[in-house]
C-alpha cells in the first residue's frame, strides 16, 4: 500500500500487423525459450519506440469487457488494479498479483499490438535520488517529463495528450497523466533499501519490506498519478516500475530455491487506504479513496480464510485468464516463462 507522503521516511503508431508469438512452450506447456526482460536504459531508440508504440496501440484499441468506465484496452488493464486495490495492496498477494498484472500487460502488447520484445523494467536504483534526470522521463525517447502547473499534467512526450478515464482513486472520469517528480522520495528506490530487504529470510519479512521501500520510492519519486494507490496504472511508467519490483522479488526468491517458490503468507485484505493523505496535489482527495456504489466486493477468491495461500486466485477480470499464486511463484515456470537479464 502506498503510504501518505507525510509519513514516508526519507532514507505515432508503427505497429506490425502480425502479432508477436507468446513465449515458446512445449506441447506439454513446459517453458522452452524464456522472454528476456531488460532494463529500459539498455534499449536502443528503436526498441524504446516499439514499446511506447505498443502502449499507444492499447490506448486506441476499444474496450471489450464492459469494465466500469473503460474506453480502451489500456484502461481495462488499469481497471484490474483500480477495482481490486484493497485485496492487492497491504496483503500477502501484493507481489504475486503485480507479477501477473505485469505479465498481462506484456501479453496484450505482444498478442494485440505486435510488440515483439519483453516487458522492460526501470532500473530505479540507478536513478535513485535523481529521477528527474532519468531517461525514462525523456520527452523524446521516454515517457515524457515532469508535470506542469497546479494540476501537474505532463505536456511533452508521447502520452501528453492522453486523457485517462479512470481515477483519481476509485472515481471515473477523464483526467490527464499528472506527475510531481520528487527526488527526495526517489531515494527510497536506492540500492541500500533493496539490499536491506534481500536480507529478510521469509516471505512474511520480505514482502512488507519491499512494499514499503523500494516500492514506495518508485511511486513517490514520480508522484502524481503514480502516487495514486488505486488508479496508478493510468501512467504507463507504472509497468516499468512494477516490473522492477518483480525483478527484486525474483532475486530474493532466487537466493533460496526451491524453498522460496512456495513461501507465502500474509492477510488477504487490508483495512483500507488512509483517508488523510496529504499534501493534496500529490495524492487523491479522501473522497476518491472510497469505492463507488456497485463496486465489486473486496474479497480474495479461492481462499476462505484470512491467510494468503498458494491456492489464492489472482483475478484478471477477463483481460487474461486468472491464475493462482502458486502458478506465478516461478517466473521460469510453464505459465510466465521469462527471465531478467
Kindly list the distances between the CA atom of residue 222 and the CA atoms of 81, 119, 316, in Å, as whole numbers in the listed order.
Answer: 18, 19, 26
Tell me which residue of 97, 77, 100 sits closest to 232, measured CA to CA.
77
Tell me which residue of 115, 113, 101 sits closest to 35, measured CA to CA.
115
**What secondary structure does DSSP assign to 82-123, as a single string?**
HTTGGGTSSSTTHHHHHHHHHHHHHHHHHHHH---S---B--
Cell numbers 504475486 correspond to: 96
Chain-centre distance of CA 115, in angstroms? 19
CB atoms within 10 A of CB 293: 5
Q: Give this prediction's pTM.
A: 0.90
Q: What is the mean pLDDT of each run of 10 residues along the chain (341 residues)?
A: 33 33 58 94 98 98 95 97 92 97 98 98 98 97 96 96 95 95 95 97 96 95 95 98 98 98 93 46 76 74 84 95 97 96 95
Kindly list the distances between the CA atom of residue 315 and the CA atoms of 126, 137, 285, in Å, as whole numbers in the listed order.
Answer: 33, 31, 27
| Residues in contact with 299: Cβ distance below 8 Å, sequence separation at least 6, in sequence order | 87, 268, 269
The end-to-end CA distance of the chain, in Å, is 28
Inter-helix orientation angle 215-222/237-254, to 10°: 160
Q: How many CA atoms lie within 13 A of 271 on its CB side?
A: 2
Total residue length of the chain: 341
Q: How many CA atoms lie within 13 A of 236 on its CB side?
A: 29
Range list of H helices, the chain: 45-60, 73-82, 94-113, 124-127, 191-198, 203-212, 215-222, 237-254, 325-328
Is there a contact between 137 and 180 (Cβ–Cβ < 8 Å)? Answer: no
The Cα–Cα gap between 14 and 239 comes to 21
Amino acid at each position: 500500500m502506498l503510504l501518505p507522503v507525510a509519513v514516508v521516511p526519507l532514507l505515432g503508431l508503427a505497429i506490425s500487423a502480425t502479432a508477436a508469438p507468446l513465449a515458446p512452450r512445449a506441447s506439454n506447456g513446459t517453458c522452452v525459450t524464456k522472454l528476456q526482460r531488460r532494463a529500459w536504459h539498455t534499449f536502443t531508440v528503436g526498441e524504446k519506440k516499439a514499446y511506447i508504440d505498443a502502449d499507444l496501440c492499447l490506448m486506441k484499441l476499444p474496450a471489450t469487457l464492459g469494465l466500469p468506465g473503460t474506453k480502451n484496452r489500456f484502461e481495462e488493464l488499469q481497471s484490474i488494479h483500480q477495482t481490486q486495490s484493497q485485496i492487492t495492496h497491504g496483503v500477502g498477494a501484493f507481489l504475486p498479483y503485480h507479477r501477473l498484472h505485469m505479465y498481462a500487460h506484456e501479453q496484450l502488447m505482444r498478442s494485440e499490438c505486435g510488440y515483439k520484445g519483453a516487458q522492460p523494467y526501470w532500473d530505479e536504483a540507478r536513478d535513485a535520488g535523481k529521477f528527474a534526470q532519468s531517461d525514462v522521463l525523456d520527452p523524446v525517447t521516454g515517457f515524457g517529463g515532469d508535470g506542469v502547473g497546479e494540476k501537474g499534467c505532463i505536456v511533452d512526450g508521447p502520452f501528453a495528450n492522453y486523457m485517462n478515464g479512470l481515477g483519481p482513486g476509485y472515481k471515473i472520469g477523464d483526467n490527464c497523466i499528472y506527475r510531481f517528480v520528487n527526488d527526495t522520495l526517489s531515494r527510497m528506490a536506492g540500492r541500500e533499501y533493496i539490499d536491506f530487504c534481500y536480507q529478510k529470510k521469509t516471505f512474511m519479512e520480505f514482502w512488507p519490506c519491499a512494499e514499503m521501500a523500494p516500492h514506495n520510492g518508485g511511486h513517490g519519486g514520480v508522484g502524481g498519478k503514480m502516487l495514486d494507490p488505486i488508479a496508478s496504472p493510468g501512467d504507463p511508467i507504472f509497468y516499468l516500475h512494477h516490473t522492477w519490483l518483480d525483478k527484486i522479488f525474483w532475486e530474493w526468491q532466487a537466493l533460496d530455491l526451491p524453498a522460496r517458490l512456495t513461501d507465502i503468507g500474509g492477510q488477504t485484505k487490508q483495512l483500507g487506504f488512509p483517508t488523510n493523505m496529504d499534501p493534496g496535489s500529490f495524492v487523491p482527495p479522501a473522497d476518491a479513496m472510497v469505492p463507488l456504489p456497485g463496486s465489486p466486493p473486496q474479497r480474495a477468491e479461492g481462499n476462505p480464510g484470512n491467510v494468503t495461500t498458494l491456492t489464492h486466485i489472482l483475478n484478471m477480470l477477463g483481460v487474461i485468464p486468472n491464475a493462482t499464486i502458486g502458478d506465478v511463484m516461478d517466473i521460469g515456470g510453464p505459465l510466465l516463462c521469462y527471465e531478467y537479464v
